[in-house]
């Protein structure tokens, strides 16, 4: 059986599983629209989850400028290229610079150098996810260790 003959199964993740995955990881990608271009601006950020709200830090720039004018998307994923499997979680919502009382209980240091004085909260309208599972291959008696 060639790898072309193997089909994976696609399954929807429920809300709780999506939030569990978001809480278990710390790096994702934020996508915002920019005024200078019609294409989305997508960059990685390290984040923390506060309930089901994604929080990250930012310096001024295209990312920060785009959040107050447009809807945003935030994504995390895991891909296993060898097994052709993985998962993805997508948060769609709005983002805004957080007020100090909204983030006072959080601890988040930016992974990049330079001051990141702005804390951004992504308030979800929807949190969805999907997982691709490779099907089990039959045991091959010809195999060896």
Ramachandran bin of 61, using left for φ above 0, alpha for ψ from -120 to 50, beta for the remaining angles: left
The torsion defined by the Cα of 79, 80, 83 and 89, in degrees rounded to 10, comes to: -30
Structure tokens at 41: 């601006």
Containing structural domain, residue 28: 9-134
- 3-class DSSP state of 35: coil
Q: Mind listing the pLDDT tens digit for each residue in 88-117? A: 999 999 999 998 898 989 988 888 888 888
**pLDDT higher than threshold 90 for residue 4:** no
In the chain, the number of structural domains is 1
pLDDT of amino acid 3: 44
pLDDT of amino acid 82: 79
pLDDT of amino acid 111: 84
CATH of the domain at 49: 2.30.110.10
Residue 120 lies in a domain: yes
Residue 2 lies in a domain: no
Residue 47 lies in a domain: yes
> What percentage of the chain exceeds 70 in pLDDT?
83
How many angstroms separate the CA atoms of 15 and 20, rounded?
A: 9
* pTM score over 0.85: no
**pLDDT higher than threshold 80 for residue 140:** no
Residue 28 lies in a domain: yes
**pLDDT higher than threshold 60 for residue 118:** yes
Residue 114 lies in a domain: yes
pLDDT of amino acid 25: 96
Of 67, 44, 66, 60, nearest in space to 121 by CA? 67
pLDDT of amino acid 16: 97
pLDDT of amino acid 79: 92
How many angstroms separate the CA atoms of 133 and 8, rounded?
A: 5
pLDDT of amino acid 2: 40
Residue 139 lies in a domain: no
């Amino acid at each position: 059986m060639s790898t072309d003959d193997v089909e994976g199964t696609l399954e929807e993740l429920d809300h709780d599983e999506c939030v569990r995955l978001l809480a278990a990881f710390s790096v994702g990608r934020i996508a915002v629209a920019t005024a200078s271009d019609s294409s989305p601006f997508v960059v990685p950020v390290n984040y923390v989850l506060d309930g089901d709200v994604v929080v990250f830090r930012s310096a001024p720039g295209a990312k920060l400028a785009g959040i107050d004018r447009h809807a945003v998307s935030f994504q995390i994923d895991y891909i296993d290229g060898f097994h052709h499997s993985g998962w993805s979680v997508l948060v769609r919502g709005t983002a805004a610079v957080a007020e100090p009382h909204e983030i006072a209980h959080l601890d988040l240091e930016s992974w990049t150098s330079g001051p990141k004085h702005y804390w951004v909260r992504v308030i979800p309208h929807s949190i969805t996810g999907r997982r691709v599972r490779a099907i089990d291959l039959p045991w091959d008696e010809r195999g060896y260790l």
